[in-house]
Amino acid sequence: MRNAVRAGAADKTISVLTYALFALFALLCMYPFYYIVINTISANDVSARGDIIFLPRQIHFQNYLDVFKIPGLWNATLISLERTLLGTSLTVGASAFLGFMFTQEDMWGRKFWYRFTVITMFFNAGIIPWYLTMKSLHLTNNFMAYVLPTIVAPFFIILVKTFVESTPKELQQSASIDGAGIMTIFFRIMLPICKPILATVAIFAAVDQWNSFQDTLLLVTDSKLYSLQFILYNYINQASSLSTMVNLQNAGSTAMASLATKQTTTSIRMTVTIIVVAPILLVYPIFQRFFVKGIMIGAVKG
């Protein structure tokens, strides 16, 4: 009896501690985003002093209008959107097709080609040999450099293949007896069935494309092809000159810019940060339910 009571008390302590620790970690994960948001909508002179910590002060939205006056930011937004749209559709299409084809047991050299694909997940030549190769293929300062290398993605192919293998074989067999060719089976039967896993793949692929930074860093010197991530990185390091420039532009158009809406290095940097992270924050609640399924299927053979 006394043992049980003691165990109960210990359980209580553990419970309270568990709740507290998880609440703290959740706060740590959320607060940086919240901090930046409240700073971008507060008076810029107060926020530059680092005084906005819990609640916004003198709320205004001028920063979000001003920030697009920085040359190149709008263009970078378009580049990031384009590569995400094009890259994601090609990757999803290729992953669906290859994942399906690798289940076709009568395909010539199926095992070999599947291994040929999967092994690239564990092995690569290194970043500089890759860069030199891309250069020799004229894929530097070329929009296609963002898209072409991502089309065949082994991890996504594994996801689709595992999914296709879990569907009843009779579906394909009966269609094939009815005289349907492999392409008809793929487009008419497999694609509709694979929708849930393709949604997962699309999310992962889109996030990868949107977040990609290294390829711009290595392969692009033409500022017309800069992605948002790359521009943000540059801004963090040189925000002061940009704020001066926006302020000069504003001084020309309006008679007097008040201190609260005058751009500072802090306001520029934080506003661009929110613009870069916004798409992720907006779609995250929607896609959150997909990826648990995705990572579980991938874990079977990863």
Of 69-77, 129-137, 159-167, 240-248, the segment contacting another protein by CB under 8 A is 129-137
Nearer to another protein, 127 or 251 (CB): 127
Residues 6 or more apart whose CB falls under 8 angstroms from that of 171 comprise: 189, 193
Provide the CA 270 distance to its chain's centre, in angstroms: 19
Contact 153, 205 (CB under 8 A): yes
Q: Could you tell me the sign of the dihedral formed by the alpha carbons of 135, 139, 142, 146, in that order? A: negative
- Using CB under 8 A as the binding rule, whether residue 61 contacts another protein is answered as no
Q: Which of 1, 55, 123, 255 binds another protein (CB under 8 A)?
A: 123
Return the number of the residue (124 or 253) whose C-beta is nearest another protein: 124
Burial track 19-53 (b if 16+ CB lie within 10 A, e otherwise)? eeeeeeeeeeeeeeeeebbbbbbbbbbbbbeeebe
Sign of the four-CA dihedral 199, 202, 207, 208: positive
Residues 136-155 that bind another protein (CB under 8 A): 137, 148-149, 151-152
- CA angle (30 as vertex; 29, 32 as ends), nearest 5: 90
Instruction: Give the interface segment with another protein, choosing from 42-50, 57-65, 166-174, 249-257 (CB under 8 A).
Output: 42-50
84 binds another protein (CB under 8 A): no
Question: Interface with another protein includes 282 (CB under 8 A)?
Answer: no
Q: How many of the other CB atoms lie within 10 Å of CB of 207? A: 18
Give me the least distance between CB of 159 and another protein, in Å please: 14
Give the total residue count for the chain.
302
Please, which residue, 141 or 254, has the CB nearer to another protein?
Answer: 141
Tokens 């991530």 map to which residue? 229
The DSSP 8-state label assigned to residue 102 in this structure reads T
DSSP 109-139: THHHHHHHHHGGGT----HHHHHHHHHHTT-
CB 205 within 8 A of CB 91: yes
Q: Does position 88 bind another protein by CB under 8 A?
A: no
Piece of 64-72, 100-108, 164-172, 187-195 that binds another protein (CB under 8 A):
100-108
CB atoms within 10 A of CB 278: 11
Chain residues 236-275 in contact with another protein, contact rule CB under 8 A: 236, 266, 269-270, 273
Count of positions on this chain that bind another protein (CB under 8 A): 89
Which one of residues 69, 72, 86, 113 is an interface residue with another protein (CB under 8 A)? 113
| Burial class of residue 300 (count of CB atoms within 10 Å of its CB; 0-12, 13-18, 19+) | exposed
Choose between 86 and 218: whose C-beta lies nearer to another protein.
218
- Among 85, 107, 259, 300, the residue binding another protein under the rule CB under 8 A is 107
Q: What does the per-residue mask of binding to another protein show for 156-195, with x meaning CB under 8 A?
A: --------------------------xx------------
Among 207, 219, 225, 246, binds another protein (CB under 8 A): 207
Residue 251 or 286 having the CB closest to another protein: 286
Minimum CB distance to another protein smaller for 49 or for 254? 49
Task: Please report whether residue 34 would count as binding another protein according to CB under 8 A.
Answer: no
Rounded least distance, CB 302 to another protein, Å: 8
120 sits near another protein (criterion: CB under 8 A): yes
Question: Which tokens hold the place of 37?
Answer: 């948001």
